[in-house]
Amino acid sequence: MPSVFTWTVRVYYEDTDAGGIVYYANYLKFFERVRTEWLRALGIHQQDLLERDGVAFVVRSAVIEYVSAARLDDELKLTLSVKKLGRASIQFAQQAWRGDTLLSSADVKVGCIDKASMRPRSLPDMVAAKMQAA
């Protein structure tokens, strides 16, 4: 597991808007795909966490810069690195690139909750262990 995790997404019609570019909210979709794939690469499956443990991840905050626009058919390289691993939350630095052009960067803070109560809880031990090992 490298310290920077990368994932590629393609821009489809569904991602664009009438301005001819990727709609701004959709970068948050892309950024979540990467977080999910990073979890998957660590052997952490959110559907299992949700169904078996009643544990979910929720985004607490996001700071996003939109630097350059992406268009239909573009192939984007998404990067993720962990800035801080807390007891009940994780801070990510994420970026979207098209070749050497930075399109967007985001700092995203994700918290762990008990799904039934929606209250914060510490990361399950196995999850924390896998993240620390990475």
Q: Does residue 41 interact with a copy of itself by CB under 8 A?
A: no
CA distances from 36 to 17, 43, 93, 99, 127 (A): 25, 10, 14, 23, 13
Q: Does residue 63 interact with a copy of itself by CB under 8 A?
A: yes
CA distances from 14 to 20, 69, 70, 96, 113 (A): 11, 15, 13, 18, 30
| Cβ-based nearer residue to a copy of itself, 3 or 27 | 27
| Cβ-based nearer residue to a copy of itself, 97 or 105 | 105
Given the residues 15, 17, 53, 100, select the one marked as catalytic. 17
Q: Does residue 126 interact with a copy of itself by CB under 8 A?
A: no
The token pair at 39 is 């979890």
State how far the Cα of 40 lies from the Cα of 21, in Å rounded to an integer. Answer: 29
CA 30 to chain centre: 7
Q: Does residue 13 interact with a copy of itself by CB under 8 A?
A: yes
CA R_g for the chain: 16
| Cβ-based nearer residue to a copy of itself, 45 or 84 | 45
Q: How many residues bind a copy of itself (CB under 8 A)?
A: 42
The one-letter code for the residue type at 37 is: E
Q: Does residue 60 interact with a copy of itself by CB under 8 A?
A: yes
Q: Does residue 88 interact with a copy of itself by CB under 8 A?
A: no
Contact 81/93 with Cβ under 8 angstroms? yes
Q: Which residues bind a copy of itself (CB under 8 A)?
A: 10, 12-14, 16-21, 23-26, 28-29, 32-33, 36, 40, 45-48, 50, 56, 58-66, 69, 71-74, 115, 118
